[in-house]
């Protein structure tokens, strides 16, 4: 019997090993009514994004000042902005940018959270105390204020905004990751691996972190909507990408001057933000419910 077979045997015999993938809860979650609505919105958005190169849309940054604030028409399906740029083309670019950026923020934030959480749970009391006090300090400052301070320090710009969001959002999840890791550390399969002579780092990375990651991914799906909104909010304040890059919050910010005479400038990015956030929240909640019902979260 190999070590891994032994471990699997112990896990099978004693139970209690955490979910190794997020696929189960995801599948079950997407079968619920909420999950289906969320998935439907994602599918619609994805179809629009995939089809966009074939729609013959102009370059999102291309200006046509003769079409300044043009209402929706055959030339500009969702109208044109104050520099005559096509709103649909810019919304598509902005939606892609916001979605990818939100995922990037989540990946960055989760990586730090899991790393800190697992190290705190397994690195001994002293390291645990130090890391958790750092978490306390970061959590003591409201996330949005911390993000604003970081952008203020680094200066406006999309890359700086992403850094600010990552730095300001990892701490809460680090505490959660630590709790999950602590629950795993004393599980029989981890003890078995240790007794079988598996190296400390391998146990850390495969058995403990490997068990924490799926649970954190479920949590991450719940966070996605919030990240999208925070991203849009800070971009709205002018702290996001600089012109001509399109971003949903920045588009909303630009639209404020034209609320009454060009309402489409406000409506289109608003609908995109609501759709993105709603789908992320519905899917996240459905997955979370499914995981909880299965006793896996």
Partner 1 sequence: MLRRRRTWTAIISAVLAIVLAGCGSGAGAPTQSAADDHLTIYNSYKVASLDPNESGTNWLFDWGIAENLLQVDESGEIQPWLAEKVERATDTTWNITLRSGLTFQNGTKLDAAAAAKALNRQVTGSKASQVYMDAKSVFTATGDLTLTLTTPQPNAMVPAALASRDNAFQIYDVSVVEAADGDSTKIAGKGAFTGPYAITSWTPENLEMTRYDGYWAGTPAMAAVTVKVVADEQARIAGVQSGQADLAFYPSPDAKLSLDGRTDAYFLQSELALQALLVDMNLTAAPFDDAAVRTAFLMSVDYAQLAEKVANGVFDTATGLYPASMSYAVANQKTDVEQAKTVLAAAGWTEGSDGIRTKNGTKLTVRFVTQAQGPETLALASAMQAQVKEAGFDLQINNAEDSAKVKADMSAWDSSIGLNGSLSGTADPIQPFLSRWTTGGSANAQGLSNAKVDAIGAKLQTTFDEGERDTLLKEAQNIIVTENAYVFAATYKRFLVVASPAWKDYTVSNVRAHLRWNTAP
From the number of C-beta atoms within 10 Å of its C-beta (0-12, 13-18, 19+), residue 148 rates as: middle
Phi, psi of 243 (to 5 degrees): -55, 145
- Binders of partner 1 among 4-33, rule CB under 8 A? none
Lay out the site mask for partner 1 across 71-110 (x = CB under 8 A, - = otherwise).
-----------xx---------------------------
The minimum distance between CB 279 and partner 1, in angstroms, equals 12
User: Residue 171's closest CA among 215, 139, 218?
Assistant: 139
The verdict on 294 binding partner 1 (CB under 8 A) reads: no
Nearest CB to partner 1, comparing residues 12 and 243: 243
The minimum distance between CB 85 and partner 1, in angstroms, equals 9
**Which among 47-55, 92-100, 164-172, 277-285 is the span making contact with partner 1, rule CB under 8 A?**
277-285
153: Cβ contacts below 8 Å, ≥ 6 apart: none
- What is the signed CA dihedral for 100, 104, 110, 115, rounded to 10 degrees? 150
Nearest CB to partner 1, comparing residues 36 and 82: 82
Q: Which residues pair with residue 265 across a beta bridge?
A: none
**Whose structure tokens read 């399969």?**
189
Positions that interact with partner 1 (CB under 8 A) = 34, 61-63, 65-66, 68-69, 82-83, 155-156, 238, 242-244, 256-261, 263, 266, 270, 274, 278, 281-282, 285, 288-289
């Amino acid at each position: 019997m190999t070590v891994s077979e032994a471990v699997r045997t112990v896990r099978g015999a004693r139970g209690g090993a955490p979910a190794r993938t997020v696929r189960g809860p995801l599948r079950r979650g997407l079968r619920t009514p909420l999950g289906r609505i969320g998935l439907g919105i994602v599918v619609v958005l994805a179809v629009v994004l995939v089809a966009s190169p074939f729609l013959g849309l102009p370059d999102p940054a291309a200006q046509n000042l003769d079409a300044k604030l043009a209402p929706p028409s055959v030339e500009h399906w969702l109208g044109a902005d104050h520099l005559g740029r096509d709103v649909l083309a810019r919304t598509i670019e902005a939606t892609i940018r916001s979605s990818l950026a939100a995922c990037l923020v989540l990946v960055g934030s989760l990586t730090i959270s899991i790393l800190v959480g697992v190290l705190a749970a397994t690195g001994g009391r002293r390291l645990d105390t130090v890391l958790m006090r750092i978490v306390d300090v970061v959590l003591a400052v409201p996330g949005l204020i911390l993000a604003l301070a970081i952008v203020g320090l680094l200066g406006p710009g999309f890359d700086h905004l992403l850094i600010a969001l990552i730095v300001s959002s990892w701490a809460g999840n680090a505490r959660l990751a630590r709790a999950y890791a602590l629950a795993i550390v004393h599980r029989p399969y981890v003890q078995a691996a240790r007794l079988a002579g598996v190296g400390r780092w391998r146990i850390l990375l495969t058995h403990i972190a490997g068990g924490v990651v799926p649970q954190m991914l479920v949590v991450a799906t719940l966070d996605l909507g919030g990240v999208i909104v925070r991203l849009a909010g800070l971009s709205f304040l002018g702290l996001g990408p600089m012109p001509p890059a399109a971003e949903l919050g920045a588009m909303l910010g630009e639209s404020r001057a034209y609320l009454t005479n060009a309402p489409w400038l406000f409506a289109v990015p608003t609908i995109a933000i609501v759709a993105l956030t709603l789908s992320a929240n519905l899917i996240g909640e459905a997955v979370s419910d499914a995981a909880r019902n299965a006793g896996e979260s």
